[in-house]
Amino acid sequence: MTEQTTRLVLPSHIEAVGDAAAAVTDFVQSCGIDDEAAFAIVMAVREAVTNAMVHGNQEDETKSVEVIFNCADNVLEIEVRDQGEGFDPTGVPDPTDPANILKTSGRGIFLMRSFMDEVEWFARPEGGTTVRMVKKF
Protein backbone atom coordinates (compact mmCIF):
# COMPACT_ATOMS: atom_id res chain seq x y z
CA MET A 1 0.00 0.00 0.00
CA THR A 2 1.29 3.44 -0.81
CA GLU A 3 1.81 5.85 2.02
CA GLN A 4 -0.90 8.48 2.52
CA THR A 5 -0.78 11.61 4.64
CA THR A 6 -3.38 14.26 5.45
CA ARG A 7 -2.85 17.40 7.52
CA LEU A 8 -5.58 19.56 9.07
CA VAL A 9 -5.36 22.83 10.95
CA LEU A 10 -8.43 23.54 13.05
CA PRO A 11 -9.55 26.50 15.16
CA SER A 12 -9.98 25.84 18.87
CA HIS A 13 -13.76 25.67 19.07
CA ILE A 14 -15.60 22.45 19.76
CA GLU A 15 -17.70 22.57 16.59
CA ALA A 16 -14.45 21.80 14.75
CA VAL A 17 -14.17 18.41 16.54
CA GLY A 18 -16.77 17.18 14.04
CA ASP A 19 -14.56 18.39 11.17
CA ALA A 20 -11.66 16.32 12.50
CA ALA A 21 -13.97 13.31 12.88
CA ALA A 22 -15.23 13.68 9.30
CA ALA A 23 -11.69 13.99 7.96
CA VAL A 24 -10.41 10.93 9.82
CA THR A 25 -13.48 8.94 8.73
CA ASP A 26 -12.63 9.65 5.09
CA PHE A 27 -8.95 8.99 5.68
CA VAL A 28 -9.35 5.58 7.32
CA GLN A 29 -11.68 4.49 4.51
CA SER A 30 -9.05 5.41 1.95
CA CYS A 31 -6.51 3.34 3.92
CA GLY A 32 -8.76 0.27 3.76
CA ILE A 33 -9.38 0.06 7.51
CA ASP A 34 -12.42 -2.01 8.55
CA ASP A 35 -15.51 -0.49 10.20
CA GLU A 36 -14.77 -1.72 13.69
CA ALA A 37 -11.25 -0.31 13.77
CA ALA A 38 -12.54 2.85 12.09
CA PHE A 39 -15.02 3.41 14.93
CA ALA A 40 -12.22 3.09 17.48
CA ILE A 41 -9.94 5.45 15.57
CA VAL A 42 -12.61 8.12 15.07
CA MET A 43 -13.46 7.92 18.76
CA ALA A 44 -9.80 8.35 19.76
CA VAL A 45 -9.35 11.29 17.37
CA ARG A 46 -12.47 13.01 18.71
CA GLU A 47 -11.14 12.67 22.26
CA ALA A 48 -7.61 13.80 21.37
CA VAL A 49 -8.84 16.84 19.42
CA THR A 50 -11.31 17.77 22.17
CA ASN A 51 -8.51 17.59 24.75
CA ALA A 52 -6.23 19.70 22.56
CA MET A 53 -8.90 22.38 22.07
CA VAL A 54 -10.40 22.43 25.56
CA HIS A 55 -7.55 21.51 27.91
CA GLY A 56 -4.56 22.38 25.72
CA ASN A 57 -5.60 25.58 23.99
CA GLN A 58 -8.28 26.47 26.58
CA GLU A 59 -10.67 27.15 23.66
CA ASP A 60 -8.58 30.21 22.74
CA GLU A 61 -9.57 30.73 19.11
CA THR A 62 -6.29 32.47 18.33
CA LYS A 63 -4.65 29.07 18.90
CA SER A 64 -5.01 26.20 16.47
CA VAL A 65 -4.93 22.41 16.63
CA GLU A 66 -2.99 20.55 13.97
CA VAL A 67 -3.91 16.98 13.11
CA ILE A 68 -1.72 14.75 10.92
CA PHE A 69 -2.85 11.33 9.72
CA ASN A 70 -0.45 8.91 8.09
CA CYS A 71 -0.98 5.33 6.99
CA ALA A 72 1.59 2.96 5.53
CA ASP A 73 2.27 -0.78 5.81
CA ASN A 74 -0.92 -1.47 7.78
CA VAL A 75 -0.03 1.06 10.45
CA LEU A 76 -2.05 4.23 11.03
CA GLU A 77 -0.30 6.99 12.91
CA ILE A 78 -2.07 10.14 14.08
CA GLU A 79 -0.56 13.22 15.72
CA VAL A 80 -2.64 15.93 17.36
CA ARG A 81 -0.71 19.07 18.26
CA ASP A 82 -1.90 21.93 20.45
CA GLN A 83 -0.40 25.26 21.47
CA GLY A 84 -1.19 24.98 25.16
CA GLU A 85 0.85 25.09 28.33
CA GLY A 86 1.74 21.38 28.39
CA PHE A 87 0.11 18.26 29.71
CA ASP A 88 1.05 15.52 32.18
CA PRO A 89 -0.95 12.34 31.45
CA THR A 90 0.29 10.73 34.67
CA GLY A 91 -1.82 13.23 36.60
CA VAL A 92 -5.09 11.85 35.21
CA PRO A 93 -6.80 9.45 37.63
CA ASP A 94 -8.21 6.08 36.57
CA PRO A 95 -11.88 6.77 35.70
CA THR A 96 -12.81 3.11 36.32
CA ASP A 97 -11.65 3.26 39.95
CA PRO A 98 -14.74 3.06 42.19
CA ALA A 99 -13.78 6.41 43.72
CA ASN A 100 -14.00 8.04 40.28
CA ILE A 101 -16.75 6.06 38.59
CA LEU A 102 -19.40 8.78 39.09
CA LYS A 103 -17.17 11.63 37.92
CA THR A 104 -18.64 13.44 34.95
CA SER A 105 -15.30 13.95 33.17
CA GLY A 106 -11.87 12.36 32.87
CA ARG A 107 -12.64 9.45 30.53
CA GLY A 108 -11.18 10.81 27.28
CA ILE A 109 -7.59 9.65 27.77
CA PHE A 110 -8.78 6.29 29.07
CA LEU A 111 -10.83 5.81 25.88
CA MET A 112 -7.90 6.84 23.66
CA ARG A 113 -5.69 4.26 25.39
CA SER A 114 -8.43 1.63 25.17
CA PHE A 115 -9.01 2.10 21.44
CA MET A 116 -5.48 2.62 20.11
CA ASP A 117 -2.42 0.37 20.22
CA GLU A 118 -0.05 3.14 21.31
CA VAL A 119 -0.72 6.58 22.82
CA GLU A 120 2.05 8.88 23.98
CA TRP A 121 2.47 12.58 24.71
CA PHE A 122 5.42 14.83 23.92
CA ALA A 123 6.21 18.42 24.88
CA ARG A 124 6.84 20.35 21.65
CA PRO A 125 10.11 22.34 21.53
CA GLU A 126 8.19 25.36 20.21
CA GLY A 127 5.58 25.04 23.00
CA GLY A 128 2.41 22.98 23.30
CA THR A 129 1.86 19.25 23.35
CA THR A 130 1.74 16.52 20.72
CA VAL A 131 -0.21 13.33 21.30
CA ARG A 132 0.86 10.50 18.98
CA MET A 133 -1.48 7.55 18.51
CA VAL A 134 -0.87 4.36 16.55
CA LYS A 135 -3.31 1.72 15.34
CA LYS A 136 -2.21 -1.42 13.52
CA PHE A 137 -4.68 -2.88 11.05
Partner 1 sequence: MSELNIRERQAGDVTVLDMDGRITIGEGSVALRSAVRRLLEEGKKNILLNLAGVGYIDSSGIGELVSSYTAINKEGGQLKLLSLTQKLQDLLTITKLLTVFDAYDTEAEALSNFK
Span from 55-63, 70-78, 101-109, 116-124 in contact with partner 1 (CB under 8 A): 101-109
Task: Identify which of residues 18 and 86 has a Cβ nearer to partner 1 in the complex.
Answer: 18
Q: Does 107 bind partner 1 (CB under 8 A)?
A: yes
Q: Does 15 bind partner 1 (CB under 8 A)?
A: yes
Q: Phi-psi region for residue 73, left (φ > 0), alpha (ψ -120 to 50) or beta? A: left
Interaction between residue 65 and partner 1 (CB under 8 A)? no
Q: Which of 55, 66, 77, 95 binds partner 1 (CB under 8 A)?
A: 95
Q: Which residues pair with 122 in a beta bridge?
A: 130
Residues 21 to 60: which contact partner 1 by CB under 8 A?
A: 39, 43, 46-47, 50, 54
> What is the distance of C-alpha 65 from the center of its chain?
10
Our finding on whether 5 is near partner 1 (CB under 8 A) is: no
Binding site for partner 1 (CB under 8 A): 14-15, 17-18, 39, 43, 46-47, 50, 54, 95-96, 101-105, 107-108, 110-111, 114
